[in-house]
Structure 1
Amino acid sequence: MTSSGRRAEIFTGTGPDPRFSGSGTGDERRMLVDFLRDQRATLEMKCAGLSGELAQRSVEPSTLSLLGLIRHLADVERRWFRQVLAAQDVPLLFCAEGNADGDFDAAASDSESVAASWAAWRAEVAFADRLVRHAPHLDIEGYDSWRGRVSLRWVLIHMVEEYARHNGHADLLRERIDGARGL
């Protein structure tokens, strides 16, 4: 790999990066949704072309892995959109009382676990997208035991922040797996 090309070309090729193409002005909901969509796409891009390698841990004693991030973000999506905003009484998928780090600790490299983790993440993203699309406004609220009352606006901002932080982890994890670096 040479340093003459853009880092993003490793993942996007020489064409335009499909992310971050939303308008810089306009409707607040559209901008928040676009930023979250782009952060989700970044996670997928960082994991592209990998299967069992997704479970490779960062460095001892950490259990941080790309697959753990996928599982963690599936649970984060589920918590904020299903449990808090939609008030659904559903358990998290990978974490539980007594196993708060199940999203990372139990991330296994077999193809069934990888496929199930991606399917869970995609299902939670789809649910969240439907909820946001059908919400009458950004001020709808839900109750969270940690934050108290939160609005859809707050959740969308928090989700952008959550993905952005973890996409930074994903950058380093992917580079450790195969040297791939990108934006």
Structure 2
Amino acid sequence: MSDPTRRAELFGGADNDRRFTGPTTGDERLMLVDVLGAQRATLQLKCSGLGPEVSLRSVEPSTLSLLGLVRHLADVERRWFRRVLAAHDAPALFSSPADPDGDFDGATDDPGTVAAAWETWRTEVAFAERFVTEAPDLDVEGEDPWRGTVSLRWVLIHMIEEYARHNGHADLLRERIDGAAGL
């Protein structure tokens, strides 16, 4: 790409980006799944091509990092799909009541830590995708101590919001690491 005219083009430009080309009308489940998939792909894009730099912190005293976001979102996926909707006994993997910020605080540049975070995130996303595919409808419900009864529909909307918010953080984190900016 030569001479991008918009910051959004610095990650490949709109012509090369297939993340947001799904349906805009029709089946509700298909649209929600597609938008959530695009948000997940955005997180991967923001972290692409990085090695240990993925663990670089934003600015002191914050412990926010791209790797911390991956770990956090793995725990969020696990909470809503495994624990709440599927009713599995599945405690968070990176944070705990004793270490509520472990998802961010434990995000170090150790290659094993980086690999484990990505593997866990992919595993949780795969579980969520299977759960959504196998659910009879969007009215499947689960019980959450924070929100009470929630539907699959609400969880999908919440997950889109969660990723979109954190992908905004990821924009700034990635730009700080190597100047890459855009979608």
TM-score with structure 2 length normalisation? Answer: 0.96
Q: Does 1:63 align with 2:57?
A: no
1:76 aligns with 2:82: no
The Cα shift of 1:111 comes to: 1.2
2:167 matched to which residue of 1?
A: 167
CA contact (8 A) 1:19 1:38 kept: yes
- In the alignment, the residues of structure 2 paired with residue 12 and residue 41 of structure 1 have an alpha-carbon distance, to the nearest angstrom, of 14
Aligned residue pairs, count? 183
- Tell me which residue corresponds to 1:123: 123
Whole-angstrom distance in 2 between the partners of 1:51 and 1:66? 11
SS at match of 1:143: strand
1:96 and 2:126 are equivalent in the alignment? no
The separation in 2 between residues aligned to 1:38 and 1:12, in whole angstroms, is: 15
Which 5+ residue runs of structure 1 have no aligned equivalent? Answer: none
SS of equivalent to 2:142: strand
Match of 2:139 in 1: 139
**Residue of structure 2 in register with 1:19 after alignment:** 19
Distance 2:93 2:50 in 1: 22
1:146-165 mapped onto 2 (5 Å cutoff): 146-165=146-165
Compute the displacement of 1:9 (Å): 3.2
CA RMSD of aligned residues (A): 1.6
Is the CA contact 1:58–1:176 (under 8 Å) kept in the aligned structure 2? yes
* 2:113 corresponding residue in structure 1: 113
CA contact (8 A) 1:22 1:34 kept: yes
Residue identity (%): 69
- Matched letter for residue 138 of structure 2: L
Cα pair 2:74 2:124 within 8 Å, conserved:
yes
**Equivalent position SS for 2:63:** coil
Cα pair 1:8 1:17 within 8 Å, conserved: no
SS at match of 1:8: helix
Deviation track 1:62-115 (CA, whole Å, cap 9, x = no partner) reads: 000000000000000000000000000011110112100000001010111111
Q: Which residue of 2 aligns with 1:33?
A: 33
Report SS of the residue matched to 1:92: coil
Does the Cα contact within 8 Å between 2:4 and 2:10 map onto a contact in 1? no
Stretches of structure 2 lacking an aligned partner (at least 5 in a row): none
